[in-house]
Structure formats: structure tokens, C-alpha cells
Amino acid sequence: MQMTINEDHFEQEVSTSSLPVLVHFWAPWCGLCRMVTPILHRFQSEWADQVRVIDVNADDSLRLANFYQLTTLPTLLFMQHGQVVQRFEGLRGRDELKRILDSLMQQQLLEQTLLQ
């Protein structure tokens, strides 16, 4: 299940996660953010044992928005051990997001296989 957090819990939920974390920065006024949310829910369900999806309302977490230098919403940060591995901005729609997420997880699976 997707979790919504604020900046008070960000460090705890992201940096200490044993799984990679996909952070979805959004805002209530952002139409594209609302459009991609169901895709992120489905993504979380499909990859539940291999990734966590966390929502952060950028309007309510201005310190985080500034720290990660958000210039557009939605912004997705794929993080491991508290470090940004990939950043996605300016998404153009559902198909592009689905393709990006599937590619990202295939890459993760390949890296995990190579490390074993």
C-alpha cells in the first residue's frame, strides 16, 4: 500500500528502508499528479516485495521540495539507501510513466541478479 508522509518522517521512511523507494512528489492542484496516482498504486501492487512507493505533498513539505530542487510536479525520485538513483520530471502521460516504471524495475532485477 502506498504511504503518504511529510518531511518529519521522510528520513526515517526513505533512508532506513531495506527496499528501494519511489518518492512521488505531488500537490492537490496538480492534474497530472492525480492522473499518475492510479498507475503508481498499480505499480506498488505489482512490485510490492521489491519497492516502496511513498507520496509527499510538495505544498506541505516545502523544505523537502527545496532540498530536492523541485521545478515541476509530479516529480518522482527513485532512491536507494537515502540516495537519489534516478529522477523523473515532466512526465507526458500514463503510457510513458508505465514504460519508465517497468524499465526501472527490470533494471533493478538485473542488478540484483548480478550481485548474487
Contact in structure between 17 and 54 (CB atoms under 8 Å): no
The active-site residue, picked from 9, 13, 30, 35, is 30
60 catalytic per annotation: no
β-sheet bridge partners, residue 79: 21, 84
- Chain position carrying cell 505544498: 59
C-alpha cell at 52: 516502496
| Burial of residue 22 (number of CB atoms within 10 Å: 0-12, 13-18, 19+) | buried
The active-site residue, picked from 23, 33, 40, 77, is 33
33 catalytic per annotation: yes
Helix axes 94-115, 31-46, angle to 10 degrees: 30
The residues that are catalytic are 30, 33
